[in-house]
Amino acid sequence: SRPIANKPHLQRPKRRTGARKQHGMLSAGGKLPPKLYVVAIDGSKLGFRAAKFAAFLCRPATADKVELVSVGDKEKMQGHLTMAENDLTALGLHQRQVTISIKEAADGKGIAEILCEAALGGVLVMGAGGMRLQEEWLKKKSTTAAAATGSVAQTCMATSKAPVIICKMKAAQMVDKEQCVRQRRETGMTVVVAVTHHLDPMAIKSFDMAKRVSQRADTVNVIHIRGENYNKQSDTFWEEECGKANMLQDGTFYYKLIDEPKLSIDKVRELLG
């Protein structure tokens, strides 16, 4: 492994006041612009958890916004949206940071397509499945990994032009705690981002996504599993990117090269902290 923070020239510097010079992510005034998290609400437990997770990701300094979106009957969905909105204000988000929207199912458009359109310019946050998955879970039915992810979530992951964050049944349970947002700001969380060759556009997008969600107290582990296409230049590139992130971003970034083609579950747990 190669923790970047151990290198003196890449150690996280003291924070400076004033505008942060950051390519591509600063507003004209020199500040990070607010992000928009679009959350799919359908009345399921995972939908409400997705809303809380969006609040969990919001940066207090940039006043990120959350838009709660439902697709379907207005009268039926209004109650679900109001419950989700109350959850977010209870977690500390200001009312002006939260908006609600009900989309009608248009002819020829599925729910996934409508959600993807609503999320353009932001980040789509949704549960892995809706009411069907919730009912199966309550009945303790055994499900495969594919069955545990609903068709709408799968379609959104495959077709959305915006980043998609999925809340699974056994994941992100920390957001069910009332103090989760405050604890995040105080103790942070661990983010793991997997990268490959430095010329891989998806690896660069994944790294940028990690930068977008990281906050002051977070630890970001950037892991590169050494494969057949390994190139020493990739090490240099990711080390430099982590160094830049440590200087310009919230959170502490570490780069780790792993010589294990197949990661064991224990190794994954170690990386997750």
Q: Are residues 124 and 253 in the same domain?
A: no
Of 176, 202, 234, which residue sits at a domain end? 176
* CA neighbor of 80 nearest in space, from 70, 72, 88, 90: 70
Q: Is residue 194 within a helix (H) or strand (E), and if so which, with residue range? A: strand 190-195
* Containing structural domain, residue 99: 36-176
| 225/262 Cα distance (integer angstroms) | 9
What is the pLDDT, as a whole number, of residue 109? 87
- Does 31 reside within a domain? no
Of 155, 176, 197, which residue sits at a domain end? 176
The CATH number for 94's domain is 3.40.50.620
- Does 78 reside within a domain? yes
* Below-70 pLDDT ranges, the chain: 1-32, 137, 140-147, 171-174, 249, 261-269, 271-273
Q: Are residues 250 and 124 in the same domain?
A: no
Q: Are residues 46 and 163 in the same domain?
A: yes
The CATH number for 243's domain is 3.40.50
Which residues fall within 8 angstroms of residue 264, CB to CB, at 6 or more apart?
none
Q: Are residues 101 and 162 in the same domain?
A: yes
What is the pLDDT, as a whole number, of residue 220? 94
Of 176, 208, 242, which residue sits at a domain end? 176
- Does 41 reside within a domain? yes
- Does 253 reside within a domain? yes
Q: How many domains does the chain have?
A: 2
- Estimate the crossing angle of helix 232-248 against helix 201-213, to 10 degrees: 20
Q: Are residues 165 and 221 in the same domain?
A: no
